[in-house]
Amino acid sequence: MQTPTELAAAYRSQGRKLTPQRQLLFQLMHGNDKHPTAESLFAEATAQMPGISLRTVYQTLNELAEMGELQFIDIGGGATRFDPNLDDHHHVVCVDCGQIRDVHVNGTAALKPVGIEDFTINDVGVVFQGVCSTCEKSRAKSHKTAHAKSPAQQAKISK
């Protein structure tokens, strides 16, 4: 995703208006590597702009996606995650707490799909599933003791 300033120019050149809501969301998403959901972004936005609506967050994220400024990530059955990182990269998901981390992958060019001669391939996505160090520790401590789940974990599990 471009910088808030660059986006401002892009918006104006497309006849779109530059509202305070949009400017705030540009800031919150620019360089954001947390892969937030619309709800979590809405929470952050509300802290700085009480009254902003969840509907506007969804609308802005959708228009940024249409403009090619960010991508959607759908993993598991929970909410869609939004990613302003347009570099060629992939993801690792902690199956315990649900966090998504960026990861560069060496070797994707060597991936050879077999048996789909009738498909024109445009893109490849790689998703690693694992457990992050924090969750690994939690597991070590409580072998059988259930430990408190973070909101992210709740979400992941409720899926």
Partner DNA sequence: TTCTTATTCGCACGACTTGCTAATTAGGTT
Partner DNA sequence: AACCTAATTAGCAAGTCGTGCGAATAAGAA
Contacting residue, 10, 43, 92, 152, with its own copies by CB under 8 A: 92
Buried b (16+ CB within 10 A) or exposed e, 113-150: eeeeeeeeeeeeeeeeeeebeebeebeeeeeeeeeebe
Contacting residue, 52, 61, 97, 100, with Zn ion by CB under 5 A: 97
Residue closer to its own copies, measured from CB, 17 or 112 = 112
97 binds DNA (CB under 7 A): no
83 is in the binding site of which of its own copies, DNA, Mn ion, none (Cβ under 5 to 8 A by kind)? Mn ion
37 is in the binding site of which of DNA, its own copies, Zn ion, none (Cβ under 5 to 8 A by kind)? DNA
- Burial (CB < 10 A; 0-12, 13-18, 19+), residue 72, is exposed
Contacting residue, 44, 69, 83, 96, with Zn ion by CB under 5 A: 96
46 binds DNA (CB under 7 A): no
Q: Give 130's contacts (C-beta < 8 A, 6+ positions apart).
A: 92, 93, 94, 95
